[in-house]
Amino acid sequence: MKRFVALCGLLVACGTPPEENACEAIVQVEVNDGGVPGASDGHDHWVVGGWTSGRVRYTPFTTFAIPHGLGRAPTRVVCQASFSPDGPLAEQSGSVCLWLTRCGAREGRTDREVLVRNSGSQEFWVRFVIE
């Protein structure tokens, strides 16, 4: 029993530390005309990226500022990712789709933008659904 308790303590102590550089060099997601990327889907969601093209290149260990046009702070961000620009999409969570609440003084959930981080080591092509 003592070994089990010691092992549990070791696992907790050796957990993954938070990334210290999560708020450095935030990438602003933009479109060519400088407007807000994406569009409303008619169901109170803002969608950035398409089902088959126009997805965001989602580089590893990068935080993205994604503008939206909801006019309110969102309640959820869904990341649908593929390994290629036009491949099949699958919903992601965990380290691949971290929704940050704050980066320093910058709010991560506002009526204008959300901050989302890819803390994984894999590059993806992503479609964001901001709700």
pLDDT tens digits, 10-56: 333 333 445 677 898 899 987 544 455 788 888 889 888 888 778 89
Structural domain span for residue 44: 21-130
Q: What is the Cα gyration radius of the chain?
A: 17
> What is the value of pTM for the model shown?
0.79
pLDDT at site 19? 67
Q: What is the dihedral of CA 42, 47, 52, 56, to 10 degrees?
A: 170
Residue 7 domain flag: no
Residue 41 domain flag: yes
pLDDT of 123 above 90: yes
Residue 65 domain flag: yes
Residue 94 domain flag: yes
Residue 115 domain flag: yes
The mean pLDDT value for 60-68 works out to: 93
Q: Where are the beta strands (DSSP E) in 1-131?
A: 27-28, 39-40, 46-48, 56-58, 62-67, 77-82, 90-92, 98-100, 102-103, 106-107, 113-118, 124-130
- Mean model confidence pLDDT for the chain: 82
pLDDT at site 107? 95
Domain count within the chain: 1
pLDDT at site 35? 53
Residue 49 domain flag: yes
